[in-house]
Amino acid sequence: MIDLGRELLAIKARLPRGHFVPRVEEKSGISYSAAQRFMRAAREADRLGDD
């Protein structure tokens, strides 16, 4: 889950504003709310130094 969140954060950083949500919903098969949870978990793990 942490690795997926990190991958999503990297993709989000590369895409122009407004392109991330449609891409997640169309290409990944997960909902945007699930993507948000994965990204939040990755940020928290990075903040705490967890892998």
Residue of higher predicted confidence among 49 and 6: 6
Phi, psi of 31 (to 5 degrees): -75, 160
For 3-38, write each residue's pLDDT tens digit. 999 999 999 999 999 999 999 999 888 999 999 999
Identify the CA nearest to 20 among candidates 3, 2, 38: 38
Identify the CA nearest to 5 among candidates 34, 47, 26: 34
- At 14, the amino acid letter reads R
Taking CA atoms, 50 is separated from 11, 14, 41, in Å, by 21, 24, 10
